[in-house]
Amino acid sequence: MAAEDELRRLIGEKTETRSVDFKERFNWAEAKRAAKLAIIKDILAMANSEDGGTIVFGVRDQDRMVVGLSEGDFNSFDETRIHDLAREYGQPSCAFRIVRGEMEGKRIIGIMVAEFEEDPILCKKDYHDAESNQQILRQGALYVRTNGARTEEVRTVEDMRRLLGRAMLKKRDSLLSAIEGMIKGRPTRPTEDSQSKFEIERREAEKYLESKIGAELRTAGHWVLAAYPAEYGENASLEQVKDALRKTQVKLRGWYFPHFDRDNEGYFNQGFQSFTNAGEFLEGFRAYQSGLFFFKSALWEEEKGKEKFGRAVIDVISMIYTLTEFFFFVDRFFGELKYEGTVVWSVELQKSDGRLLVGADPGLPGLWGNEIAKDDPLRVQGRTPKANLYAGGLEVSRGVIMRLLRLFNCGISESIVSHWQERLIRRRF
Question: Which domains, and CATH codes, for the chain?
Answer: 3-173 (3.30.950), 192-425 (no CATH)
Instruction: DSSP for 348-414, please give it.
Output: EEES-TTPEEE-SSTT-TT--S--B--SSSEEEEEEEEGGG-GGGGHHHHHHHHHHHHHHTT----H
Q: How far is CA 186 from CA 180, 191, 231, 268, 393, in A?
A: 9, 11, 9, 30, 21
Give pTM, 2 decimals. Answer: 0.60
Residues 6+ positions from 366 with CB-CB distance below 8 Å: 410, 411, 412, 413, 416
Write out the chain's pLDDT in tens, 429 residues. 356 777 887 888 787 878 889 999 999 999 999 999 999 999 999 999 877 889 999 999 888 899 999 999 999 999 889 999 999 999 998 888 898 999 999 999 999 888 887 889 999 999 999 999 999 999 999 999 987 888 999 988 888 888 887 787 656 544 544 444 444 455 555 567 788 899 999 999 999 999 999 999 988 999 999 999 998 887 899 999 999 999 999 888 768 899 999 999 999 999 999 999 987 789 999 999 999 999 999 998 775 556 665 788 999 999 999 999 999 999 999 999 988 888 999 999 999 999 999 887 766 776 777 889 999 899 999 988 887 776 668 889 999 999 999 999 888 989 999 999 988 887 665
Burial class (CB in 10 A: 0-12, 13-18, 19+), 172: exposed
Residues 6+ positions from 32 with CB-CB distance below 8 Å: 131
- CA–CA distance, 316 with 314 (Å, rounded to integer): 6
